[in-house]
Copies of this chain bind each other. A is one copy, B any other.
Amino acid sequence: MTPTIGILGGGQLARMMALAGYPLGFKFVFFDPGKNACAGQVGPLIVADYGNEVALEEFCQQVDCVTLDFENVPVETLRQIAKKKPVFPSPDVLAIAQDRLVEKQFCHSINVPTSDFEPINGLSELKFAARKFDFSAILKTRRMGYDGKGQYLIRSEQDISQIPGDVFNQELILERMVPFEREVSVIVARSASGDMKTWPLCENKHKAGILTTTMVPAKPHELDDKAFEYAVKMAESLQYVGVMVVEFFQTSHQVLVNEFAPRVHNSGHWTIEGAHTSQFENHLRAGLDLPLGDTGMDGMAAMLNWIGAFPDQVHHLTDIGLHWHIYGKKAKPGRKIGHATLTAPDPQQLHDKILQLVNRLGVQL
């Protein structure tokens, strides 16, 4: 069995999927509108827009099945491909994940809690809902936002008045701020035949809406079981195939779904060195309906994102077991260009290694 897997989107997720699939003898073809898509450094890349039917036809002819590294691929593109080749996850799942309102409505339909939310059409609806949420809310576009893009904090009437008028040309959603104690994520792999596995719980830190660090396993908490229960319920209800990741806010008394990613996810990068099988390998195994690999881990792992720039000593600190992942992308502010993973047998040793890293690389976490 040596399938060729097509990936829509040629970023670092596609790149790491291919690096996980090559040892299994799989081949890859990437499809991306950008000619510098970094996956193109590790395999063949078709450069075309997602609406280019000729290019999509060529892509389909070269591959045995199709997955994605980017959830904002047009659903219609995925539906067209699905007529010709197996696709995972399904276009229906993608349609849910692409719209924050539909995503939250889906959660509620299966009794999985989220933060409070209101769909917003125009300024007056925003003012009304902001008052309802006690001016402690975030206005988001329903579609296309990621890494904090297209989001506005609403703390006052003044915050509302400062929102550019053209923002209201889009479909919006207002979400009540959640006074969370921490953010965690659950990575789930589910294969077509229903085999399902989760990795240990990930604890995530963000700065300005961008993930900066993930620590695994998260410090045990009595609400952890709820997070796993919700994530598994979502994957089952969606009849999901592949890896999906559910991000949660955890407050003092509950866990609330923030959003889910219908793909491998930044908070699962630690699995490359930290778990017995990586999220990337199991995503491919799930899609090809091969047995899923063991998702256990020995000890602990910490993942650090490099955003905008690398430290001077990139490639160094290998003596303390730092594993570098450099995506081959041009550095620019706010852009994820790589990550590094540290592993250690216990929390104390991980803490010591992180201190060494901070001191020797001169970085802030």
A residues whose Cβ falls under 8 Å from a Cβ of B = 1-2, 15, 18-19, 22-25, 27, 41-43, 272, 276-277, 285, 290-294, 298, 314-321, 323-328, 338, 345
Q: Which residues of B contact A319 (CB under 8 A)?
A: 291, 293-294
CA gap between A318 and B22 in the complex, in Å: 16
Q: Kindly list 8 other residue pairs between chains A and B, CB separation below 8 angstroms, not including A15-B22, A19-B23.
A: A24-B326, A285-B318, A290-B316, A291-B315, A291-B319, A292-B318, A294-B320, A298-B298
User: Closest residue of chain B to A298, judged by CB?
Assistant: B298
| Partner pick for A324 among B23, B325, B338, B345, CB 8 A cutoff | B23
Q: Is the CB of B314 within 8 A of A293?
A: no
A27 to B318, Cβ gap below 8 A? no
Contact of A42 among B42, B272, B325 (CB under 8 A): B42
* CA distance in complex: A326, B43 (Å): 17
Ordered by A's residue number, 25 sampled pairs between the chains whose C-beta atoms are within 8 Å are: A1-B314, A1-B315, A2-B326, A15-B22, A19-B19, A19-B22, A22-B42, A23-B272, A23-B324, A23-B325, A24-B315, A24-B326, A25-B324, A25-B326, A27-B328, A43-B43, A285-B315, A290-B315, A291-B316, A291-B317, A291-B318, A293-B319, A294-B318, A294-B321, A298-B298
Which among B318, B320, B323, B328 is the interface contact of A25 at CB below 8 angstroms? B328
Q: List the B residue with the shortest CB-CB distance to A23.
A: B325
Q: Which residues of B contact A324 (CB under 8 A)?
A: 23-25
Q: How far is the CB of A325 from chain B (nearest CB, A)?
A: 5
Could you tell me the distance between the alpha carbons of A272 and B23 in the complex, rounded to whole angstroms?
11
Contacts of A326 in B (CB 8 A): 2, 23-25
- Cα of A284 to Cα of B277 in the assembled complex, Å: 25
Q: Are A25's CB and B338's CB within 8 A?
A: yes
* CA distance in complex: A345, B298 (Å): 10
Docked Cα-Cα span, A18 to B22, in Å, equals 11
CB distance from A99 to the nearest CB of B (A): 34
Tell me if A276 and B321 are in contact (CB < 8 A): yes
| Residues of chain B contacted by A27 (CB below 8 angstroms) | 41, 328
**One of B41, B293, B318, B325 near A293 (C-beta < 8 A):** B318
The complex places the Cα of A291 from the Cα of B276 at a distance, in Å, of 26
Structural contact, B318 and A277, CB atoms closer than 8 A: yes
Q: Name the residue on B nearest A2 (C-beta).
A: B328
Docked Cα-Cα span, A153 to B51, in Å, equals: 66
Closest to A273 in B: B276
Distance A353 CA – B27 CA, assembled complex (angstroms): 29
How far, in whole Å, are A15 and B27 apart by their CA atoms in the complex? 13
* A298 to B290 Cα, complex, angstroms: 28
Q: What's the Cα separation between A343 and B319 when bound, in Å?
A: 22
Bound: A272/B293 CA distance, A: 17
In contact, A323 and B23 (Cβ under 8 angstroms): yes
Q: Kindly list chain B residues whose C-beta atoms are within 8 Å of the C-beta of A316.
A: 290-291
In the complex, how many angstroms separate the beta carbon of A101 from the nearest chain B beta carbon?
38
Q: Please measure, in the bound complex, the distance between the C-alpha atom of A276 and the C-alpha atom of B321, giving whole angstroms.
A: 7
Min Cβ gap A263→B in Å is: 19
Query: How far is it, in angstroms, between the C-alpha of A43 and the C-alpha of B27 when the chains are bound?
Result: 11
From A24, A292, A327, name the one whose CB has the most chain B CB atoms within 10 angstroms. A24
The 5 closest A-B pairs by CB, nearest first: A25-B326, A293-B318, A23-B325, A290-B315, A22-B42
**Which residue of the partner chain B has the closest CB to A319?**
B294
Question: In whole angstroms, how far apart are the Cα atoms of A204 and B353 in the complex?
Answer: 35
B-side contacts of A290, CB under 8 Å: 315-316, 318
